[in-house]
Chains A and B, each alone.
Chain A
Amino acid sequence: MYFSKKVLEQSPALKKKWEDEVKKTVARRSDQKERWSTVSDLEIKRIYGPEDIKDMDFERDVGYPGQFPYLRGNQVTGYRGQSWTFRMFAGMGSAKDTNERWHMLLKQGQTGLSTAFDFPTLMGYDTGDPHARGECGKCGVAIDTLEDFLQLVDKIPLDKITTSMTINPPASILWAMYCAAADIQGVPLTKIGGTIQNDMLKEFIAQKTFMCPPGPSVKLVSDTVEFGTKYVPKWNTISISGYHIREAGSTAVQELAFTLRDGIEYVDDVIKRKGLDVDSFAPRLSFFFNSHIDFFEEICKMRAARRIWSTVMRDRFKAKDPRSWWMRFHTQTAGCSLTAQQPYNNVVRTAVEALAAVLGGTQSLHTNSLDEVWCLPTEHAVEIALRTQQIIAEETGTANTIDPLAGSYFVESLTNEMEEKAWEYIEKIDAMGGMVAAIERGFPQMEISDAAYKYQRQLDAGEKVMVGVNKYATEEADEIPVLDIDDRVENEQMERLEAVRRKRDSKAVKRSLDDIKNACKKGENVMPHCIEAVKNLASLQEICDVYREVYGEYRDPAMY
């Protein structure tokens, strides 16, 4: 029991008295609206009290940081021991442009790097392919071969700086480039650290950056997990991501449930396919959440996530190492909460969202820049966003104490409620035969589509508010400077690729591509062959074409 007998005896009478007062007051002056709900449309009560959390068991459900079920955080010292990592996502134009932006961010106090790739790279096409026209360098950096990659990490000490790479279908290839670059810098694989996103399931569910069908896609993910476990022990090989699920319009509960169910699917596959012991790789799994505008809902989501994952790992997978029970996660504030109108308001939104992520106990944080609705952020906008994190960390006192909202009737109750609803989804997907099966049926896709459409309708009806968009809108537009990626980047990049093609040993390229093909056909791990191929200057698309040939190409199913 969470409360003393005395509190639980006193509370009902006091609550009744308060409720009577509410009734009288509402009769005189009714509430501004009848129904109050989170941005995800989860209904919220006027007040929460001891009754709402009376069934909680302190040891079982709450406890202290560093203790099962890790509701209050993994680290016993909280942010006092180590602040969260300030990790700003950056990438645009050519490898050289991005490298310059990275050096600027490091100079300003950023502690980790994070790479955005352009769409052709993300989808496994080289610059110049017909699919890639007009896209080069637009949404991130263009990488075709190891030569580009070496320029990207030029003068970045790979043994000291950790790097996160947002890359999915060709994750094995970009990671192979990173490993090859470390080798060339003389840094052993055991010393490099970082993250590849490498979460294909959420691509089928939400972001639609896909290449091969779900089955082989998960196989490639498991290859990287196995390679990392054996040879690159400090690397996080999957960043199981809810961010994109949320951006696609899901509710907070859906983000929580689908992300964790994706995690279960990966763990299952690695155990079954690779025969690895769960504790040998689970500690390197990391997660990535969205921090949306509904303050408490986000905090509760993150707290619930830690509790669910620790339970899953201990009870479902029988993991014994406490580090396997930890859910470590990166957070990004919600791009979809930002508005094109009155863009300076975005600074405030991002600050509130960042604060929620910190109160939810994130290990790493990206804060969006005010201009991200329009374009890749300008340097000035990135600086404000980074400063926002620094203000929260070093001025507000938020980091002084661990999980400061624990014990709040509301926060604990909402945490419990979201956890329960997430379990319902997880069990439903289990019953369908797992996430790959659920995706084939279009289940998560349709759930998200429904939620997105409902929210848009609520916005249009004024039931939900976006300041500056459907309320307090102004006529004159705020002018903000936007970053323009020159269309010339594409031509220059094509020339670079041509130059590499001319100088490389084409027999060696062919041989290493054949090796990858054989590995794919035999179900062997592709990673060592990928490293060999990129060193021989095989291009990203050449390797992806092998994957496409052997595994087939996934096409967007008809679900809307």
Chain B
Amino acid sequence: MGERKLRIMVAKPGLDGHDRGARVLARCFRDAGFEVIYTGCHQTPEQIAASAIQEDVDVVGLSCLSGAHRYLFPRVVELLKEQKAEDITVIGGGVIPDQDFQMLYDAGIKEIFTPGASLDSIVEWINTHIKLS
């Protein structure tokens, strides 16, 4: 008893509905033993940040394939910070060109996974970098 579980939110900010990756990841995280809160598509950064706080997640995983990540990802981090929840780790994935990486890291995105990243490598990153509370 008393087992601690990692809670992770898988969210798709913006208007793009290509949720193949998000859905595959949600299942993968479940199979890795995490508790996954899945918010579905078409979420605003405001909805995502509020939900992440209510659900007390350790990690927010954002998926975006529309090219709008430069606005959407940093906005989620900013909103979490505004609500004193900067301890929640935000990671991102999707169609993100190399040249945008630095800008996203600077904005507080902790890691970025691009097409071709194996599921195991993502789970491993989380297990290594997230300390359970």
Contacts and interface: CB of A to CB of B under 8 A. Distances in A.
**Do A and B come into direct contact in the complex, CB within 8 Å?**
yes
Contacts of B95: 373-375
Interface residues of B, number: 34
B38 interface: yes
Interface residues of A, number: 48
B24 A456 contact: yes
Contacts of B54: none
Nearest to B115: A340
A209 B17 contact: yes
Interface centre among A203, A456, A466, A469 (most CB of B within 10 A): A456
Nearest to A374: B97
B116 A560 contact: no
Interface string A157-186: 000000000000000000000000000000
B32 interface: no
Contact of B24 (A209, A340, A453): A453
Contacts, number: 108
Interface stretch (A8-16, A128-136, A270-278): A128-136
B39 to A, nearest CB: 9
B131 to A, nearest CB: 26
Interface string A92-122: 0000000000000000000000000001101
B15 A120 contact: yes
Nearest to A450: B27
Contacts of B66: 119, 135, 138-139
Majority SS at the chain A contact face? loop
A496 to B, nearest CB: 20
Contacts of A452: 20, 23-24
A395 B121 CA distance: 44
A110 B95 CA distance: 28
Majority SS at the chain B contact face? loop
Interface string A354-383: 000000000000000000011110000000
A214 B124 CA distance: 40
Contacts of A135: 14-16, 66-68
A249 B15 contact: no
Interface string B80-93: 00000000000000
B99 interface: yes
B44 interface: yes
B23 A560 contact: yes
Contacts of B72: 133-134
A249 B18 CA distance: 10
Contacts of A373: 95, 115
Contacts of B114: 340
B70 A134 contact: yes
Interface string A245-273: 00111000000000000000000000000
B109 interface: no
Interface in B21-69: 23-24, 26-28, 38, 40-42, 44, 66-68
Interface string A41-52: 000000000000
Contacts of A209: 15, 17
Contacts of A248: 18-20
Interface centre among B19, B38, B114 (most CB of A within 10 A): B19
A560 B26 contact: yes
A13 B67 CA distance: 60
A123 B119 contact: no
B128 interface: no
Interface in B74-122: 75, 95, 97-99, 114-116, 118-120
A203 B67 CA distance: 20
Contact of B40 (A132, A376, A487, A556): A556
Nearest to A249: B20
A453 B10 CA distance: 16
A208 interface: yes
Given A133-B71, A135-B66, A375 B17 contact: no
A135 B15 CA distance: 8
Given A119-B66, A340-B115, A556 B42 contact: yes
A457 B26 contact: no
A476 to B, nearest CB: 12
B118 A134 contact: no
15 contacts: A120-B15, A123-B42, A133-B68, A133-B71, A208-B17, A208-B19, A208-B41, A209-B17, A210-B17, A249-B20, A460-B118, A460-B120, A555-B40, A558-B40, A560-B23
The 10 closest A-B pairs by CB, nearest first: A208-B17, A134-B71, A556-B40, A119-B15, A138-B67, A134-B68, A469-B116, A135-B68, A340-B115, A123-B15
Given A130-B44, A339-B115, A340-B116, 11 more contacts: A119-B14, A119-B66, A131-B15, A131-B44, A134-B70, A135-B14, A208-B42, A373-B115, A374-B97, A460-B118, A482-B97
